[in-house]
Amino acid sequence: MTATAARPADTLVARQATTRHFLMCPPEYFTVEYAINPWMNPDQPVDTALAMAQWQELKDTYVRLGHAVDTIEPQPGLPDMVFAANSGTVIEGRVLGSKFRAPERAAEAEHFRRWFVTRGHRDLVMPTRINEAEGDFAWTGEVLLAGTGFRTDPAAHAEAQEALGVPVVSLNLVDARYYHLDTALFVLDKGPNAQIAYYPDAFSAGSRRVLARMFPDAVIADEADASCLGLNGVSDGHHVVLPAEATGLAKQLEDRGYEVIGLDISELRKSGGGPKCCTMELHA
């Protein structure tokens, strides 16, 4: 044995960005006026203008990286509509809408359904079970990783498999701070050699074993990375957008050849959201 630690098998792979199509919603009416996750405290003041500036920076970053970004009209009275990832799962032209657990967010689903219809998406199914879309679904290009435990109903996983025609792997979330899958895991690279980053403590023991089996070389985040919502990242296969505080995770990704862009998302985090929550990907 030499003194050099074993490096992950994919360390020397050349990172290849692919162009993405995103849907976002400006946080025009963003506030924290109810609490449906442990991050939300309605007594804490929120600066909506600052949230808008942080969101704009995120959108501008995607555009600068060459991605296509569509936006949907924000609606008064729907302060969480900025979290577009929760309103649809789109894979190869098929759209599965959403059905929110909290009554405060229920009306968002219909606004997004109409957006899809107006844009000519014919292959659209609305779920019958609680389904918070990309909040709990992560597409690897081969399988749909699906979270449950706090929001999305486990029965929605089977519904997603049927509607989208892709294999679904169910994962159990066990820590209320990581109430959506996308607060604890994200996809770095899509395709047959898909790679992910995740925070193991957010998952049940069985789900941790599933993830270790499927992704033996995954990037493992620690508590410091997770607790700034560092796992709420967005990767195009080369560039990875992260909350700026996730410095340990950023270092690990840079060691593997990714280019990390750290952004300030402090206002959006007051609602329990980060870059990924604000970004629905329309997967080609």
CA atoms within 13 A on the CB side of 51: 26
Interface with ligand ARG, residue 80, by CB under 6 A: yes
**Phi, psi angle pair for 81, to nearest 5°:** -65, -20
Which one of 82-90, 169-177, 203-211, 217-225 is the stretch in contact with ligand ARG (CB under 6 A)?
82-90
Chain centroid to Cα 211, Å, comes to 17
Interface with ligand ARG, residue 86, by CB under 6 A: yes
Give min distance, CB of 182 to ligand ARG, in A.
5
Nearer to ligand ARG, 15 or 25 (CB): 25
Question: Pick from 273, 275, 282, 283: which binds ligand ARG (CB under 6 A)?
Answer: 273
Question: Pick from 203, 271, 282, 283: which binds ligand ARG (CB under 6 A)?
Answer: 271
Residues 14-73 that bind ligand ARG (CB under 6 A): 36-37, 40
* Catalytic site residue from 25, 228, 277, 278: 277
Interface with ligand ARG, residue 182, by CB under 6 A: yes
Q: Which residues contact 216 (CB under 8 A, 6 or more apart)?
A: none
> Is 180 part of the annotated catalytic residue set?
yes
Which one, of 81, 91, 277, lies nearest residue 184 by Cα?
277
> Is 283 part of the annotated catalytic residue set?
no
Interface with ligand ARG, residue 230, by CB under 6 A: no
Interface with ligand ARG, residue 108, by CB under 6 A: no
DSSP per-residue string spanning 138-197 = EE-SS-EEEEESSSS-HHHHHHHHHHH-S-EEEEEB--GGG-SGGGTEEEEE-STT-EEE
- Answer yes or no: are the C-beta atoms of 124 and 113 closer than 8 Å: yes
Give the Cα separation of 259 and 142 in Å (integer): 24
Question: Pick from 54, 98, 183, 207: which binds ligand ARG (CB under 6 A)?
Answer: 183
* Catalytic site residue from 180, 239, 278, 283: 180
Number of amino acids touching ligand ARG (CB under 6 A): 16
Angle subtended at Cα 102 by Cα 101 and Cα 103, rounded to the nearest 5 degrees: 115
Interface with ligand ARG, residue 270, by CB under 6 A: no
Which one, of 270, 282, 230, lies nearest residue 36 by Cα?
270
Which one of 22-30, 139-147, 157-165, 269-277 is the stretch in contact with ligand ARG (CB under 6 A)?
269-277
Give min distance, CB of 40 to ligand ARG, in A.
6
Nearer to ligand ARG, 146 or 277 (CB): 277
Q: Which residues contact 88 (CB under 8 A, 6 or more apart)?
A: 23, 95, 96, 97, 98, 112, 116, 133, 134, 280
Give min distance, CB of 178 to ligand ARG, in A.
9
Nearer to ligand ARG, 153 or 256 (CB): 153
Q: Mind telling me the catalytic residues?
A: 180, 277
Residues that bind ligand ARG (CB under 6 A): 36-37, 40, 80, 83, 85-86, 105, 135, 180, 182-183, 271-273, 277
